[in-house]
Structure 1
Amino acid sequence: MAETLQFELVSPEKLLVSEPAEMVTVPGSEGDFGALPRHSPMIATLRPGIIDIYEGGNIRNRIFVAGGFAEVNEERCTVLAEEAVPVSELKAEDAAARLKAAEEALQAAETDQARAQAKRAHDVAVAMQAALSGGQPAAH
């Protein structure tokens, strides 16, 4: 049996995943990274994208995250996600509605803070649509 690390995914509502994994790929703000057993300690910010959980050399589970933070060490990868949804539960109509709302908010934004919030919502909606089509948006 392959060596594993403990993977935990926590959202504001609850602990979503706590299980061993051979590898976890995470959408870091500076690019995707893979967390493996005996990984060097690091903390990273996340961009909207997909976390892939591997077992037996194959992807066992895919989870969309809207952003957050990851802490990795030799034995564990912990993700604190702003929002997390299994890719299998994403719906195209929800992503389209979020994108429309974000575009409307961008047009209506009158302050830098409002524009930044609307841009963030837009980035999440675009990443959600990319997850539905089987891909990941490019890192910014």
Structure 2
Amino acid sequence: MADNFNFELVSPERLLLSASATEVVLPGTDGEMTVMAHHAPTMTTIKPGVVSVVTAEGATERYVVFGGFADILPDGCTLLAESAVAVGDIDRDDLAQRLQDAREDVADASSDAAKQKAQDYLDHLTTLNEAIVSA
């Protein structure tokens, strides 16, 4: 049986989840990562994606995040999301608007670096949209 650790998911609006968890899968900028108790101290940026949390009770909760960063310690993990919502509560119109805004940001970028950053964000949102639509 896996050890438990404290997990908190925080958005600017509110604390979405504070729970004892056995496993959390984060959409890190460099790839998905699984956090478990006794994880090495790490800080990572988060890309738009789905966070999956297995609680100490064995339930799985999923949240859509739109960027942020995670602070991982051996006894806990805090994810500070730019924006987050439970998968079941996702507003598809909001996601469509974010995709449209990202497309406009790519088109309006004034430098190669800005264009690449905007394109990366658009790619993440597109992947997230495809994952949610098929779920």
Question: TM-score, normalised on structure 2?
Answer: 0.81
Tell me how many residue pairs correspond in the alignment: 135
RMSD in angstroms over aligned alpha carbons?
A: 2.6
Measured against aligned partners, the alpha-carbon deviations of 1:84-105 in whole angstroms (never above 9, x if no partner) come to 1111111333322322232234
What does residue 75 of structure 1 align with? 75
What does residue 3 of structure 1 align with? 3
Contact 1:4 1:20 (8 Å CA) reproduced: yes
Distance of aligned partners of 1:96 and 1:105 in 2 relative to their CA distance in 1, 3 Å threshold: same
1:45 deviates by 1.1
Q: Which runs of 5+ in 1 are unaligned?
A: 136-140
1:24 deviates by 0.3
Distance in 2 separating the partners of 1:5 and 1:102: 36
What does residue 43 of structure 1 align with? 43
Amino acid of the structure 2 residue aligned with 1:37: A
Identical positions, percent: 36
Amino acid of the structure 1 residue aligned with 2:131: A
Measured against aligned partners, the alpha-carbon deviations of 1:85-129 in whole angstroms (never above 9, x if no partner) come to 111111333322322232234323445686467446524532441
